[in-house]
């Protein structure tokens, strides 16, 4: 056991979550940005998470580990909006780790989609959940002050997904640099920053959002764009038009919850961001690991480039994407 692991166990004991006996940290899939363990405790299983400073990608990609604290704040704030939207945080731990309640019987949405269980109604519930957090935090000074995490968002999202690609795409660079500037400057609502099917559990009462390491007070259009991007990519990868239908359902449900600004403006911003994120998942620092077929990459790359040059609102973008797959 390493020193960091011992610190985690000491922290769990200090929080009263485990006793003095031997404790096993059972590794779970942590993705590229964190270590995650399952721990059996007298009160039932819990999940322990600790952020990494160097992310698990081929490119050099560092991020402040303090993002663990902002993730905790997002989870607690989302539960304040609707307790069904996020797991309960049980304790904060050394190294910006934290413990949260384990939710049994809740599959990961990504696994459901890959298995062919595509539920447009669930996608709509995801859209409603995102919009609910945005609506509850829009134009709120206290929420803005609670998330002074612009540097982390830049390191985890703006640099690797927008600026990294701009440096490699001279013809698109002006549009991508302008998009990055607008994203950084926009301060409207509390943004999760990583709304992806791999970070959403299919709970008995609807979606449960995880992994809010990128949380920032910023542009709500980013969350809508980020999740939509994942669904459109998987529609290409799996050749499943139902994923396009799920993306459309998500966008429609989210749009119905917009009450803090003009919906048309937000949907256009989301369309611009979706186009850039689609290209980033082919050419950015964190390419979609499942998109390995050259033809699939070509489809995504060419469509994304065209959409960056001639932006469309996200609802129109999704509708046209479905026609491409037909």
Name which of 50-64, 172-186, 309-323 the model is least confident about. Answer: 50-64
Q: At what angle do helices 314-325 and 263-283 cross, to 10 degrees?
A: 50
- Position 150 pLDDT exceeds 60: yes
**Residue 21's pLDDT band (boundaries 50, 70, 90)?**
low
178: nearest Cα among 206, 155, 158: 158
- Position 3 pLDDT exceeds 50: no
Same domain? For 124 and 260 the reply is: yes
What percent of the chain clears pLDDT 70, i.e. is strictly above it?
88
CATH code for the domain in which residue 146 is found? 3.90.1200.10
Q: Pick the residue with more confidence: 92 or 285?
A: 285
- Position 58 pLDDT exceeds 60: no
What is the token pair recorded at 212? 């809010």
What average pLDDT does the segment 246-253 reach? 98
Same domain? For 85 and 154 the reply is: no
Average pLDDT, the chain: 89
153: nearest Cα among 71, 58, 228, 48: 71
**Residue 220's pLDDT band (boundaries 50, 70, 90)?**
very high
Local structure of 116: helix, strand or coil: coil
67: nearest Cα among 157, 188, 134, 172: 157
Q: What is the pLDDT of residues 24-54, one digit of tens each?
A: 677 776 555 677 788 888 778 888 887 765 5
Last residue of a domain, one of 101, 126, 158: 101
Same domain? For 134 and 249 the reply is: yes
Same domain? For 248 and 116 the reply is: yes
Name which of 88-92, 207-211, 270-274 the model is least confident about. Answer: 88-92
Same domain? For 95 and 168 the reply is: no
292 is in which domain, residue-wise?
109-325
* Exposure letters 20-50 (e unless 16+ CB within 10 A, then b): eeebebeeeebbebbbbbebebeeeebbbbb
285: nearest Cα among 190, 181, 154: 154
Name which of 171-175, 209-213, 301-305 the model is least confident about. Answer: 209-213
What is the token pair recorded at 108? 């990961």
Same domain? For 186 and 96 the reply is: no
pLDDT computed for residue 175 by the predictor = 98
Residue that the structure tokens 């304040």 belong to: 80
What average pLDDT does the segment 192-213 reach? 95
- Alpha-carbon distance of 291 to 288, in angstroms, equals 6
Last residue of a domain, one of 48, 76, 101: 101
Q: At what angle do helices 263-283 and 221-238 cross, to 10 degrees?
A: 50
Same domain? For 193 and 251 the reply is: yes
Same domain? For 176 and 313 the reply is: yes
Structural domain total, the chain? 2
Q: What is the pLDDT of residues 152-167, one digit of tens each?
A: 899 889 999 999 999 9
Q: What angle do CA 275, 201, 24 make, to 5 degrees?
A: 120
- Position 99 pLDDT exceeds 70: yes
pLDDT computed for residue 79 by the predictor = 96
Last residue of a domain, one of 101, 131, 151: 101
Tell me how far apart the 2 most distant CA atoms of the chain are, in Å.
62
pLDDT computed for residue 286 by the predictor = 84
- Position 139 pLDDT exceeds 50: yes
């Amino acid at each position: 056991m390493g020193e960091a692991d011992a610190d985690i166990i000491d922290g769990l004991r200090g929080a009263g979550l485990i006793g003095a006996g031997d404790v096993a940290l059972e590794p779970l899939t942590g993705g590229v940005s964190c270590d995650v363990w399952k721990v059996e405790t007298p009160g039932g299983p819990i999940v322990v998470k600790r952020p990494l400073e160097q992310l698990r990608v081929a490119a050099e990609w560092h991020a402040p580990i303090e993002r663990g604290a902002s993730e905790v704040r997002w989870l607690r704030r989302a539960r304040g909006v609707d307790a069904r939207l996020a797991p309960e945080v049980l304790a904060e731990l050394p190294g910006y780790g934290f413990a949260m309640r384990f939710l049994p019987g809740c599959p990961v949405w990504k696994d459901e989609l890959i298995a062919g269980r595509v539920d447009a109604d669930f996608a709509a519930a995801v859209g409603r959940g995102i919009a609910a957090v945005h609506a509850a935090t829009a134009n709120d000074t206290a929420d803005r002050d609670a998330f002074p995490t612009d540097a982390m968002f830049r390191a985890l999202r703006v640099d690797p997904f927008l600026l990294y690609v701009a440096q490699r795409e001279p013809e698109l660079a002006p549009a991508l640099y302008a998009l990055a500037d607008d994203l950084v400057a926009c301060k409207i609502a509390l943004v999760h920053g990583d709304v992806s099917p791999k970070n959403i559990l299919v709970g008995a009462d609807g979606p449960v959002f995880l992994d809010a390491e990128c949380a920032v007070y910023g542009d709500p259009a980013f969350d809508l764009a980020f999740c939509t991007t994942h669904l459109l990519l998987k529609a290409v990868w799996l050749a499943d038009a139902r994923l396009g239908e799920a993306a459309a359902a998500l966008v429609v449900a989210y749009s119905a919850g917009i009450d803090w600004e003009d919906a048309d403006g937000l949907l256009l911003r989301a369309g611009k961001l979706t186009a850039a994120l689609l290209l980033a998942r082919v050419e950015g620092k964190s390419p979609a690991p499942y998109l390995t077929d050259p033809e699939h990459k070509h489809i995504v790359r060419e469509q994304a480039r065209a959409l960056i040059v001639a932006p469309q609102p996200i609802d129109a973008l999704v509708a046209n994407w479905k026609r491409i797959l037909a």
